[in-house]
Amino acid sequence: MIKSIEWSENKLTIIDQTEIPRNLIYLELNTIQQVFEAIQKLRVRGAPAIGVAAAFGLYLGVRGRSFENRQSFLSEAKSLADYLASARPTAVNLRWALQFINEKLQKTQGELPELIRKVLEIAIDIKNDDQKRCDLMGSAGAELIQPGMRILTHCNTGALATAGIGTALGVIYTAHRQNKKLQVFVDETRPLLQGARLNMWELEQAGIPATLISDNMAAYAMQRGMIDLVIVGADRIAANGDTANKIGTYNLAVNAQYHGIPFYVAAPLSTFDFSIKSGEQIPIEERNCEEITRIWGKLPITVENASCWNPAFDVTPAGLITGIITEAGIADHPFEDSLTRLKLNSQVHKNHKELIQ
Ligand code: MRU
């Protein structure tokens, strides 16, 4: 399976996802500013992947620098974390990873350079942990999948979007390995085409039959009885199960409910924001107009100076979601209760328990 983020020989390397599927380019990132730019420009994207990238970005921001004392290091680490977190506002994994590192640093005894080494140690831990979470989500979710199912998915949620096999796409990979002979319908995912560019590329490599549709074809495919199940990922899930994910997810959920098709979200517990009660409190990133006035930011498709609105995510109300697949099991309604149970009863990550808040 392709690795979207690697840390080896003291270097951070990512796949530049803006180049897929035309070119497979590995970028070496040496500074915190380069990591910020890569996150903001979607060279690295997908909620878990940007959390992992930011963790290494923080290390690059403190590596090789001298600090007066422990306190000045801790306050600099906090402001660098705020800087990185501002790259993208919706995906909570970014904030979660940075906050996790800062909390661990506060509790770590010792002085520099031990504290600096600690940042790297935790970043590596977060990356390995995400990989494990993906495997567990894959196994939990694959149980829902019957042989021959036709599954619709939206945006890219696979190896490119995480440090492991992915979330929604990870479930699909796992079911495929179980020889369930799936057919995947891939929403192109306007405006930045994560489905057409990235999912189609990943699924082709995995040898999984995939059919590309444009986003506005999904309801018709459902009406014609072509879809058995919808699985999507998430960028932030509120305590009540309301889910922010790539713009267009809400359309799919409304359409799935109308047609009586189960609609599942797959996300690790690091994508939950238990500090907010509902989706109304999730900040939604609004991006540059050129992403919709031009195809792939280049070819103009509308009048010059067209005004536009370009929210990158939407919020699907919990009531439209059949269940949420996590690494600790599948949450069902009422989500508040079952998520609390999953968190408490989680037997997973014995060595990484504190990574699950
Ligand atoms: O803007 P993107 O491409 O980062 O949006 C990504 C998504 O919406 C994914 O569905 C989500 O992050 C889950 S990734 C495992």
* Cα(247) to centroid(ligand 1), Å: 10
How much distance in Å is there from the Cα of 245 to the middle of ligand 1? 6
Q: Please tell me the pTM assigned to this model.
A: 0.95
pLDDT value of residue 356: 43
Q: Is 47 in the pocket of ligand 1 (CB under 6 A)?
A: yes
* Residue 28, CA atoms < 13 Å, CB-side half-sphere: 5
The residue among 229, 215, 221 whose CA lies nearest residue 263 is 229
Q: Identify whether 21 is preceded by a cis peptide bond (ω within 30 of 0).
A: yes
Q: 45 CB under 6 A from ligand 1? A: yes
Strand partners, 123: none
| Cα 46 to middle of ligand 1, angstroms | 4
Give the residue numbers marked as catalytic.
235
Which residue has 């690091």 as its token pair? Answer: 270
pLDDT of residue 110: 84
Burial 76-88, CB ≥16 within 10 A → b, else e: ebbebbebbbebb
Give the contacts of 243 (CB within 8 A, at least 6 positions apart): 234, 236, 237, 249, 265, 267, 279, 315, 316, 318, 321, 324
Q: What residues contact residue 308 under an 8 Å CB cut-off, 6+ apart?
A: 289, 292, 293
**167 Cα nearest atom in ligand 1:** 15
Ligand 1 midpoint to CA 181 (Å): 25
Phi/psi at 61 (5° precision):
-70, -25
To test the pocket of ligand 1, the residue of 90, 162, 187, 194 to mutate (highest count of ligand atoms within 8 Å of its CB) is 194
Q: Alpha-carbon distance 38 to 96, whole Å? A: 18
The CA 42 to ligand 1 mean position distance, Å, reads 10
Q: Is 133 in the pocket of ligand 1 (CB under 6 A)?
A: no
**Which helix H or strand E contains 13, and what residues bound it?**
strand 11-15
pLDDT of residue 345: 66
Phi, psi (deg, nearest 5) at residue 284: -105, 125
Ligand 1 atom closest to the CA of 246, numbered from 1: 8
- Whether 309 contacts 286, CB under 8 Å: yes
State if residue 48 touches ligand 1 by the CB under 6 angstroms criterion. yes
* pLDDT per residue of the chain (357 residues) written in tens, 0 to 9: 899 999 999 999 999 999 999 999 999 999 999 999 999 999 999 999 999 999 999 999 999 899 999 999 999 999 999 999 999 999 999 999 999 999 999 999 888 889 999 999 999 999 999 999 999 999 999 999 999 999 999 999 999 999 999 999 999 999 999 999 999 999 999 999 999 999 999 999 999 999 999 999 999 999 999 999 999 999 999 999 999 999 999 999 999 999 999 999 999 999 999 999 999 999 999 999 999 999 887 899 999 999 999 999 999 999 999 999 999 999 999 999 999 888 876 644 444 445 444
pLDDT at 159: 98
Nearest atom within ligand 1 for CA of residue 162: 15
The number of beta carbons lying within 10 Å of the beta carbon of residue 111 is 10
Instruction: Please report the atom of ligand 1 found closest to the CA of residue 312.
Output: 1
Task: Tell me which amino acid residue 356 is.
Answer: I
312 lines ligand 1 (CB under 6 A): yes
CA–CA distance, 77 with 103 (Å, rounded to integer): 11
Residue having the nearest C-alpha atom to atom 15 of ligand 1: 157
d(CA 332, CA 322): 7
What is the identity of the amino acid at 191? P
What pLDDT does 346 receive? Answer: 62
- The residue among 42, 91, 344, 8 whose CA lies nearest residue 192 is 42
